[in-house]
Chain A
Amino acid sequence: MNPPAAVLDIRNLSCRVGDRWILNNISLRIDAGETVVLLGRSGCGKTTLLKCVNGLVQAAQGDIVFQGRSTSEWDPYRMRRFIGYVIQDFGLFPHWTVAANAGLVLKLENWEPPAIEARVHLMLDAVGLPPAEFAARYPRQLSGGQKQRVGIARALAADPPLLLLDEPFAALDPITRFELQQHFMELRSTFRKAALFVTHDVREALMLASRIVLLKDGAIDLIATPGTFLSGVTDESRAFLASLDSGTRRVDEPAPGD
């Protein structure tokens, strides 16, 4: 029996900026419904890896296969519309309403306006922003958490099979962050997307990941489930946990599923 085709298959990917190699021989497969968390310190190449996937950064070697087709064979504009993208600083268009922001990809894909409106209302409801109250607002009239909810609605609107999330909750206060993390898990079970999630927050990784990929100096140091990662049975995860400031490390907390 053949295993189902992966949503995303990264094969021996290397990437460099100038003379410096940012990513080194990365291979990674992500299936539908799976959240793979890229964990690592600043500068380890996590964000670059995300940007290689949607073509914001060009890979030097290797291949990325999305939905069974190499990203080099995709029309880049078309491909990006099938990959949801959520970033730390939201990136909402300040001159567009919440509804227009959330419906951006649908508009690019030439949906009819009534269909866009219906879909946008559905998505705003799904991310916890009642359309009656929020659809006509502008981003400057929203809190950080609300902005990121719009960012998530925008990423999900066209029902893409893959989501890329680059520290989506890092700019939020702890309470809002926790709310959005909870909400993300609900959405994930509803929509069953494949997700590649970048963070440097171990707790977030443990909470959200199906698998944790520890990146170090542009290479994969370790791939582990949260349970294995937390138990510190591997030298790599032990080293990473030990390298953290004790203030942010809470290994005494139960792992998800315990």
Chain B
Amino acid sequence: MSQRLATEIVSLSFEHLWLVLISIGVAAALAIPGGVLLTRRAGLRRGMLAFANVMQTVPSLALFGFLLPIPFIGGIGPHTAIIALCLYALLPILRNTVVGITGVDPIVREAAVAMGMTPNQILWQVELPLAVPLVLAGLRIATVTTIGTATIAAAIGAGGLGVFIFQGIASVDAAMILAGAIPAALMAIAADEGLEWIEKKLSRV
């Protein structure tokens, strides 16, 4: 492997990682508070979960394509990719946050109310801590799938490891495809293992 290729793999891997981290960060910042809100508003819950569900069913290449012509959020470059990746990451985080909080034993919740806890105290001291394992599981699923989906972002000029894959396809060069696919796969495995480890650490109680 030439020195140049190695450097390029490293730099594209960092670009890829950056795309994923920004997307997951934004998605989590929206979906965790959003999930908490949805547990408070049963009426909103169905609509929002349905929206997130639909977003996930749109083929990713098509979604990138749809976003391109939209003013402000669309266009060539990483920001369009980040928006699309966020939309994909929303569902698992949102759904797991809702399930984690609504899944708290109603007896525990009743006791919390009866002991004189306020709704805020119940949220921060009871519901969220008990939901942590599920929220983290949602983050893990979202991260692993986003690492994969982000390879397609290269199609709209967002960079990342997908650059190798698209070049490889265009030039029918299997080695080039692998130069993008293998680091992406390794990144996904590392993210999965790492987040699973944190999840176990935090849910031991």
Partners in one complex: yes
Proximity string of chain B (115-154) to chain A, C-beta cutoff 8 Å, 1 when within and 0 when not:
1111001000010011000000000000000000000000
Cβ B205 vs Cβ A85 within 8 A? no
Chain B residues contacting A92 (CB-CB under 8 Å) are: 108, 111
A81, B114: Cα distance in complex, Å:
8
- Contact among A81, A91, A95 for B111, CB-based, below 8 A: A91
Max chain A CB contacts within 10 Å: which of B105, B113, B115? B115
B window 173-205: CB within 8 A of A: 205
Proximity string of chain A (186-227) to chain B, C-beta cutoff 8 Å, 1 when within and 0 when not:
000000000000000000000000000000000000000000
Cβ A95 vs Cβ B130 within 8 A? yes
Cβ A93 vs Cβ B205 within 8 A? no
Max chain B CB contacts within 10 Å: which of A56, A87, A95, A154? A95
Chain B residues contacting A108 (CB-CB under 8 Å) are: 115-117, 121
B interface, how many residues as a size bin? 10 to 19
Chain B residues contacting A95 (CB-CB under 8 Å) are: 129-130, 205
Cβ B108 vs Cβ A80 within 8 A? no
A80, B118: Cα distance in complex, Å:
11
Cβ B129 vs Cβ A89 within 8 A? no
Cβ B116 vs Cβ A77 within 8 A? yes
- The answer to whether the Cβ of A24 comes within 8 Å of any Cβ in the partner chain is no
- The answer to whether the Cβ of A104 comes within 8 Å of any Cβ in the partner chain is yes
Chain A, residue nearest B114 (CB)? A85
- The answer to whether the Cβ of A6 comes within 8 Å of any Cβ in the partner chain is no
A92, B126: Cα distance in complex, Å:
11
B window 90-127: CB within 8 A of A: 105, 107-108, 110-118, 121, 126
If A108-B121, A138-B205 touch, whether A94 touches B115 (CB-CB below 8 Å) is: no
If A93-B108, A108-B121 touch, whether A80 touches B205 (CB-CB below 8 Å) is: no
Cβ A80 vs Cβ B114 within 8 A? yes
Cβ B115 vs Cβ A80 within 8 A? yes
- The answer to whether the Cβ of A241 comes within 8 Å of any Cβ in the partner chain is no
Chain A residues contacting B111 (CB-CB under 8 Å) are: 85, 87, 90-93
Q: Could you list 9 further interchain pairs (A-B, Cβ under 8 angstroms) beyond the known A80-B113, A91-B114, A108-B117?
A: A56-B114, A80-B115, A81-B116, A85-B115, A91-B107, A91-B112, A92-B111, A93-B111, A108-B121
Q: Which residues of A contact B (CB under 8 A)?
A: 54, 56, 77-81, 83, 85, 87, 89-95, 104-105, 108, 138, 154
Cβ contacts A to B, 12 pairs, < 8 Å: A56-B114, A77-B116, A79-B116, A80-B116, A85-B111, A87-B111, A90-B111, A91-B110, A91-B114, A93-B126, A104-B117, A138-B205
